[in-house]
Chain A
Amino acid sequence: MSPPSSSTSSSEPSRASQLRELSRVVVWTLVFLLAIDAGLGVWLGEPPHGPEQASGSLQRYFEYGRSTESKIRSQVGPTDALTHPLALKGWIEPPVGQPRAAPAGAGALVAVYGMSFSANVALAMHEQMPQLAVRNAGGPGATLAHSYAMYQRDRHEHEASVIVLGVLASSFPSLSTLSHATWNFEAPSPHFYPRYRLEGGALASTPAPIASLAELREALADPARFEALRAALEQGDAFYDPLVFRESPLDRSLIARALRRAWGQRAKRGTIARFHGPDGYTNELGAIDVSHAILREFVTSVRADGKLPVLLLLQDQGYADHLYRAFLPVIEATGVDFVSTHEIAPASDLSNFVRDGHFTPENDRRIGRALGERILERLDK
């Protein structure tokens, strides 16, 4: 091989002085980066603990990239009073403070299983149609698996004559998870739920690795048990990523947190892309087959109890009518009543949503009205 032609033509002293200057610039860059990291870290202070909220938007911003485990540890206090509200929500337990039967004067009790979207719609429905009392049960951004598990757990705890199953389009890709904390790592709610699968055509489930907040407290205090939880998530949760989940000393560095956040977002986008493309959902890991089986079981079970099943399909931003199209075969096969938001508040019109992605109150009312009218129409029959 002939000698490299990429030789320097300039004189050596000049090159040496340039190298010296380069090394000084690199050193100063590193010094300033460390100063920014440490200075901002000191200024923003310790992460919030227990029920405390991050004190400002900047602190919240830099908390997003902290490891999920670290966030869970800071959320969960020794008692409920010393625990962050996010950690109290979503456990598969009958809801507290919700009516068990239709109050006197109300026509019917409607039990709604879902998430904040469905709860807002249900409350808006009740406001406009007081004869329909509401029993809301769910969790933050609940997946179909969570809502179905919640329905099963709560099934015999009330006398509702109508059962609404709320399904959120953006939560559909998270069907193959065991916890909200894995797929919503920026603001995790550390509750757990079963994962469903098909075995010989029948619906089977992997139980939630942690059943209650009390169990989670025990696991956090027991390294072996927490390691077992990590292993269960690694094996059974499509969104689990050890780099994002595991606590590490790097949690103290804002720069490391920024990088972890970017990594987490990238991993999350990659996983979502397996389940959802521009034309709708894919059947990755049998997600569509499993969701169809869940819906069929739900309808059969509610009807067996002599109640009215209703599906509430909540198509949020970026999902057009994909949920409706994915569930249409089951809707047609079972004849289940449904309300889909894609015709009431299309996802393509971003003014239908508020900044955090929820429907505007006006749209909650419109969807609530449509839901109430459908229920009353069926109850009248």
Chain B
Amino acid sequence: MNFDSLQYLLFLPAVYLLYRLLSHAGQNRMLLVASYFFYGCWDVRFLSLIMLSTAFDYASALMIDRGALSRRQGLLASAWAVLGMVGFAAIDWRQLAAPEPTGALLAPTGIFAALAVAAVCGVAAAFYTRFAALPEPTRRRAALIASLVVDLGVLGFFKYFNFFAGSFEQLLNSLGFEASHWHLDVVLPVGVSFYTFQAMSYTIDVYRGRLRATPSLADFALFVSFFPQLVAGPIERATHLLPALVNTRSVRLDQSLRGLHLILLGLFKKVAIANGVAQSVDSVYNSTHAAGAGDVALATLLFAVQIYCDFSAYTDIARGSAKLLGIDLIENFRQPYFSTNPSEFWRRWHISLSTWLRDYLYIPLGGNRGRQASTYRNLAATMLLGGLWHGAAWNFVLWGAFHGAILCAHRFASGGREPARGAWTWLKLPLFFAITCYGWLLFRANSFEQIAAFTTALATGAGAFALSIHPPTFAALIGLPLLFALEAVEHVRDDRLYYLRFPVWTRGALYAAMVFVILLGTSNEPTQFIYFQF
């Protein structure tokens, strides 16, 4: 169910109306069901994994924090994991929904997975007393490691197994060894990187003593699966979102209005602009012809527009939807293309991921506490893994390495101090934007050959005026200047609620223009949100 689909247009008001009718406990149960329904709309099998992660992290956190699980909690966690496997992996519901079933109702792999999970639960129950009796530091560390192994195991298997197996196979073949086919036919669950990181931050924070483990499985399950941010973030911290879910909430009118503003802005960015430039980008990046410098430059510039409008639109709609439910999600973007250096860029782009990487990877690696060389190593390693987080492909690793390199270069040049904004800002801004765009070229490219060919074209300027790129749609062409104006005003005023200072009729004109452009944009070829694949 996409945020820009008709289904979501019906789903969100339905959830909102039910929400307003229910008590707090009822709201949370309903939100959990709605979130699982939302996620199951992609593929009902994905629910088995999220339920497994949820059950395991719930139990692990309790073992870390309290050293014990009550009988009820243990049974509940086991039942949740096994139920998820039986209900959504062992039973192939698609066969029931299909007009002409193509296979059996029971999936052998799912049955095997359910039996394996049941066996693990049985073993855990058998060894529980011994485990609980371990010295506290050992028990806490063991529970954390177990939780991380499960989370990273799920992520690694579903997202990276084929990538690493394929790369290893290629390496062996290049060395003259015969490598058999290790490719597994697995589906990448939508949003697995997002909810895994979110769940991991919970157990790590419990381990670090930053929050107490929640005794309610339902509340924790809602924290992991809360539908507005489940599929593409923002990656929430348990210290922020969990209290908002557990505690009684109030829905304020100003918050709801801000939510509606964000939803409209998100639809404007996605439907009118991101979808409107997607075909232009594809006409160069998805073509096998030797593109000239003009085509590459324009397509890359438009991809910078596309990925920002696409991803920030998702965040806007997610935050807007959550606000309607009285929940504030963290900010994920702050006009990133107004950055003048890489350090500033990462404080403005995908903030929830960059702060996650900072808190759970960069700082544990040593951050900038050691020698300069260690700081550079930590920066580079963090960005490299950040790149890999995006997708199982070498160009994402290269993109991460590129950002690691420019962060190191910037740190070297600035001595780790943040340069003051001054007269040079307006020169640095387009220069750094160009550097960012080159990074997007690495990100968007389909192969290393394409990266080499496009880089050569840009470096030599070959074919600068021979343009074959498809022009953006009319909606994108008129939407883009409007968006730029809004972003510039917000940036200059440094005020997220800048539009509230406009006279009422100006706001009316602004919303009318946005609605009109969205309506024109509805004819654009719909595209999946780019970050769904991560």
Q: Is B29 an interface residue (CB 8 A)?
A: no
CA–CA, A351 to B254, complex, Å? Answer: 51
B-side interface mostly = helix
Are A258 and B520 closer than 8 Å at their CB atoms?
yes
Residues of A near B522 (CB, < 8 A) are: 258-259, 261-262
Determine how close the nearest CB of chain B comes to the CB of A376; give it in whole angstroms: 30
On chain A, the residues within 8 Å of B249 by CB distance are: 5-6
Segment with Cβ contacts to B, from A24-32, A145-153, A366-374:
A24-32
Contacts of B512 in A (CB 8 A): 28-33, 35-36
Total count of chain B residues near the partner, CB < 8 A:
41
Return chain A residues, CB-CB under 8 Å to B515. Answer: 29, 33
Inter-chain pairs besides A15-B253, A25-B511, 5 sampled, C-beta below 8 Å = A2-B23, A6-B27, A29-B507, A29-B515, A258-B523
Knowing A258-B519, A352-B289, the reply to whether A7 touches B250 (Cβ < 8 A) is yes
Chain A: residues with Cβ within 8 Å of the partner, total of: 44
Q: How far is the CA of A61 from the CA of B474 in the complex (A)?
A: 9
1/0 per residue B230-259: CB within 8 Å of A? 000000000000000000111111100100
Q: Which residue of B lies closest to A269 (CB)?
A: B525
Bound form: Cα–Cα A4–B257 in Å: 20
Within 8 A of B (CB), among A279-333: none
The 3 A-B pairs with the shortest beta carbon distances in the complex, nearest first, are A28-B508, A32-B512, A262-B522
Q: Which residue of A lies closest to B295 (CB)?
A: A351
Flag B244-282 by CB within 8 Å of A: 1 or 0 each.
Answer: 000011111110010000000000000000000000000
8 contacts between A and B (CB under 8 A): A4-B23, A5-B248, A9-B250, A10-B252, A28-B509, A265-B523, A349-B287, A350-B284
Least distance between B410 CB and chain A CB atoms (Å): 37
- What residues of chain A lie closer than 8 Å to B468, measured between beta carbons? 350-351
A4–B20 CB distance below 8 A: yes
Whether a CB of chain A sits under 8 angstroms from the CB of B450 is no
Instruction: Confirm or deny: A22 has a beta carbon within 8 angstroms of a beta carbon on chain B.
Output: yes
Judge if A18 is at the interface, Cβ distance under 8 Å.
Answer: yes
Interface string of B20-43 (1 = CB under 8 A from A): 111110110000000000000000
A32 and B513 alpha carbons, distance in the complex (Å): 8
- Among B20, B22, B250, B519, find the residue whose CB has the most chain A CB atoms closer than 10 A: B519
Give the complex CA separation of A25 and B525 in angstroms: 31
Interface contact A18-B257, CB-CB below 8 Å: yes
A25-B507, A33-B515, A261-B523 known; A18+B289 contact, CB < 8 A: no
Interface string of B441-458 (1 = CB under 8 A from A): 000000000000000000
In B22-72, the 8 Å CB interface with A consists of 22-24, 26-27
Q: How far is the CA of A352 from the CA of B287 in the complex (A)?
A: 10
- For B26, the closest partner residue in chain A by CB is A1
B440 interfacial by beta-carbon distance below 8 Å: no
Does A3 have its Cβ within 8 Å of any Cβ on chain B?
Answer: yes
Chain A residues, CB < 8 A from B289: 349-352
Question: How far is the CB of A63 from the nearest CB of chain B, in Å?
Answer: 13
Q: How far is the CB of A374 from chain B (nearest CB, A)?
A: 25
Cβ contact within 8 Å between B24 and A5: yes
- Bound Cα distance A10, B255 (Å): 11
Count the A-B residue pairs with Cβ separation under 8 angstroms: how many?
114
B532: chain A residues within 8 A (beta carbon): none
- Note all chain B residues with C-beta closer than 8 A to A32: 508-509, 511-513
Find residues 184-217 in chain A having any chain B CB closer than 8 Å to their own CB: none
Q: How far is the CB of B317 from chain A (nearest CB, A)?
A: 18
Complex contacts, A261 vs chain B, CB 8 Å: 522-523
Known contacts A7-B250, A9-B250, A18-B257: does B523 contact A262 (CB below 8 Å)? yes
Q: Which residue of B lies closest to A28 (CB)?
A: B508
A349–B295 Cα distance when bound, in Å, is 14
- The A interface is mostly helix, strand or loop, or mixed, namely helix
Report chain A residues within 8 Å CB of B287: 348-351
Are B257 and A262 within 8 A (Cβ)?
A: no
Q: Which A residues are CB-close (under 8 A) to B129?
A: none
The reply to whether the CB of B354 lies closer than 8 angstroms to some CB of chain A is no
B257 touches A22 (CB 8 A): yes
**Residues of chain A contacted by B26 (CB below 8 angstroms):** 1
Q: Which residues from 244 to 270 on chain A have a C-beta closer than 8 Å to any C-beta of chain B?
A: 255, 258-259, 261-262, 265, 269
Cα separation A3 to B522 with both chains bound (whole Å): 40
The verdict on A346 contacting chain B, using a C-beta distance below 8 Å, is: yes
A235 contacts the other chain (CB 8 A): no
Chain A residues positioned under 8 Å from B251 (CB to CB): 6-8
Question: Does A19 have its Cβ within 8 Å of any Cβ on chain B?
Answer: yes
User: Are A18 and B23 in touch, CB under 8 angstroms?
Assistant: no
Q: Does A52 touch B at the CB level, under 8 Å?
A: no
Q: How many angstroms from the CA of A10 to the CA of B252 in the assembled complex?
A: 7
Which residues of A in the span 326-381 have a Cβ within 8 Å of any Cβ on B? 346, 348-352, 355
Contact mask B287-308 → A, CB, 8 Å, 1/0? 1110000000000000000000
Q: Which of B249, B286, B515, B520 has the most CB of A within 10 A?
A: B520
A7 to B256, CA, bound (A): 12
Task: Tell me, yes or no, whether A21 is within 8 Å of chain B by CB.
Answer: yes
Which A residues from 7 to 60 make CB contacts under 8 A with B? 7-10, 15, 18-19, 21-22, 24-33, 35-36
A5 touches which of B27, B283, B520 (Cβ 8 Å): B27
Q: Report how far A172 CA is from B326 CA in the complex, Å.
A: 51
Shortest beta-carbon distance from A151 to chain B in Å: 34
Q: How far is the CB of B462 from chain A (nearest CB, A)?
A: 14
CB pair A4–B248 under 8 Å, yes or no, is no
Known: A22-B257, A262-B522, A352-B289. A6 touches B508 (CB 8 A): no
Minimum distance in angstroms from A354 CB to a CB of chain B: 9
Q: Mark interface residues in A165-195 (1 if CB within 8 Å of B CB, else 0).
A: 0000000000000000000000000000000
Contact residues in B for A6 (Cβ distance below 8 Å): 19-20, 27, 249-251, 326
A350 touches B283 (CB 8 A): yes
Given A5-B248, A258-B520, A349-B287, the answer on whether A19 and B253 have CB atoms closer than 8 Å is yes
- B520–A355 contact, CB under 8 A? no
Do A8 and B253 touch (CB < 8 A)? yes
B504 on the A face (CB < 8 A): yes
B424 at interface, CB cutoff 8 A? no
Give A61's nearest chain B residue, CB to CB.
B474
Looking at the assembled complex, report how far the CB atom of A17 sits from the nearest CB atom of chain B, in whole angstroms.
Answer: 10
Chain B residues within an 8 Å CB radius of A10 = 252-254
- B516, CB-defined interface residue at 8 Å: yes
Give the Cβ gap from A266 to chain B, nearest Cβ, in Å: 8
- A18 to B253, Cβ gap below 8 A? yes
Q: How far is the CA of A64 from the CA of B519 in the complex (A)?
A: 14
**What 1/0 flags go to A81-103 for Cβ under 8 Å of B?**
00000000000000000000000
B288 neighbours in A (Cβ, 8 Å)? 346, 348-349
